[in-house]
Amino acid sequence: MIFAGKKYDYLVINKYQHMKWKQSCMRGTAAAFLFCLGTMTALAQVSTAELYTASVFTPKDGFTHGVEGPAVDKSGTIYAVNFAKEGTIGQITPSGEASIFISLPGSSVGNGIRFDNHGYMLIADYVNHNVFRVDMKTKQLKVLAHEPRMTQPNDLAVDRRGHIFASDPDFKANSGRVWRVDPDGRVSLLDSMASPANGIDLSPDEKTFYVNAGRSIWAYDISKKGELSNKRLLIEFPDFGVDGMRCDSDGNIYLARFGKGVIAKISPEGKLLREIVLTGKRCTNVAFGGRDGCTVYVTLMDQGNLESFRVDRPGREWVMQKK
């Protein structure tokens, strides 16, 4: 196996990397081809026991217990909210060294973070009902959208057309809503729910939109204009809560099960495929990153840190950023 940095951060040959190896090998000599073939075979035999095994990524209590919203930029830097104190955005190197990237203005506190198709950072400010946009080169922050009707914008998702989707839970009223923010900042209400809307994401083909609430994940059809229809239940759990989630490039959902201390891997058909056990119990969100998009980073409220584990497919958003 090939190691990069930490011992668990080995290279998994996914379908994109395998194609590059195959093309390179076919252009070489017979001896080179046999060498490449042997190398690919050895790499492909990486034990599945080395996948889906979580380990601590950043020191305990480096973030506040409001740690949330992990996201990874094109360079592989990881970001999460509330490093050292509330109202900050922390940045973490691939080796796990954290520092403050920016501080949000006034009383604003971030929750979800995403990157749009232009490389801007998007932040849900749940205190002041904003969605911020950050220029990563200048660190200039602007209010892309302000919506007083929102209770507390929570998690974000982005599509290739520049639409931003925001979940909006109302935990006191046990209800929730889903909003769309267009590239020009115009805000539209997409749906109201009978329980607090939380984690959201899209399928790789962007034809299905997912939102979770309570103990359930709901699926919708989504149009090119970002309109939702045909709501149906994808999966419902008998216990514990659901929080942030992301899709991989095959359409599988990685879901934070708050209180249970696991990340659930769920098929596009709603079948529970596996659970990845974490050190902490109050996992809040996930993001894909690493050199090949196959490292999952998890924020944990009760630990005040991030954990990580390896998977066999890159994340949807990671692939989208590379195009």
pLDDT at 47 exceeding the cut of 60:
no
pLDDT at 15 exceeding the cut of 50:
no
Separation CA 305–CA 163 (nearest Å): 30
pLDDT at 45 exceeding the cut of 50:
no
Taking all residues of the chain, what is their mean pLDDT, rounded to a whole number?
88
What integer is the mean pLDDT of 239-261? 97
pLDDT of 323? 75
pLDDT of 2? 28
Q: What domains are defined for the chain?
A: 3-44 (no CATH), 51-322 (2.120.10.30)
- Relative orientation angle of helices 30-44 and 15-26, to the nearest 10 degrees: 160
pLDDT digits (tens, 9 = 90+) for 282-305: 999 999 999 999 999 999 999 999
Structural tokens at position 7 = 């011992």
Confidence of residue 48 (pLDDT cuts 50, 70, 90): low
DSSP notation for 26-46: HTS-HHHHHHHHHHHHHHHT-
**Of all residues in the chain, what percent are helix, strand and coil, respectively (each to 5)?**
10, 45, 40
3-state SS class at 321: helix
pLDDT at 276 exceeding the cut of 70:
yes
Question: Among 37-46, 70-79, 202-211, which is the least confidently predicted range?
Answer: 37-46
Q: What is the DSSP letter of 292?
A: T
- Of residues 195 and 39, more confidence is placed in 195
pLDDT of 55? 96
pLDDT digits (tens, 9 = 90+) for 81-94: 999 999 999 999 99
pLDDT digits (tens, 9 = 90+) for 196-246: 999 999 999 999 999 999 999 999 999 999 999 999 999 999 999 999 999
pLDDT of 307? 97
Name the helix (H) or strand (E) containing 25: helix 15-26
pLDDT at 122 exceeding the cut of 60:
yes
